Amino acid sequence: MVGNTMKFSKTLHFLVEKDPKIVEIPEFVITGTYHDENHTQRRMQQRAINVNMIRVALAYGKYQFHSNAPTWTLLDKCLRNTMYERAIDHLRGLRIIAPIDKEEEFLSITTVYWDFKLAN
């Protein structure tokens, strides 16, 4: 399983490097919560989510408010007919929660997780 994860990670990195839409995403920082500044880093590690996955979610994910916070969620329909279509099974359900810092004008990613209940 680790080999497949590493292979996917390299493939995703290659795709992200070539994707002009990634350049258009807002700047972001990986933060945490007020009470736990390492929350997001820890969740990324526990859930096998990397920075390139976050970039794809911000570029292609469905933007909405969930629990009063701005979110980007990767659905199958978001990735169809894109260079990431072959990676749908690896990216489906990734949700990024990232309020916009009004003063700094960047996204502050407070948590990331997989929402496995999503419909395709």
pLDDT at 35: 86
Q: What residues of the chain score a pLDDT lower than 50?
A: 1-2
Residue type, 13: H
- What are the boundaries of each domain within the chain? 2-114
Hey, how many other C-beta atoms are within 10 angstroms of the C-beta on 71?
19
Angle, CA of 42, 49 and 97, to the nearest 5° = 75
What pLDDT is stored for residue 32 in this prediction? 77
CA 24 to chain centre: 15
Of residues 86, 89, 83, the one with CA closest to residue 55: 83
pLDDT at residue 36, as a whole number: 85
User: Which tokens go with 91?
Assistant: 């990216």
pLDDT at 101: 65
pTM metric for this prediction: 0.89
By C-alpha distance, which of 35, 111, 104, 37 is closest to 72? 111
Question: What pLDDT, on the 0 to 100 scale, is given for residue 99?
Answer: 80
Indicate the class that CATH gives domain 2-114. alpha beta
Phi-psi region of 105 (alpha: psi -120 to 50; beta: other; left: phi over 0): left
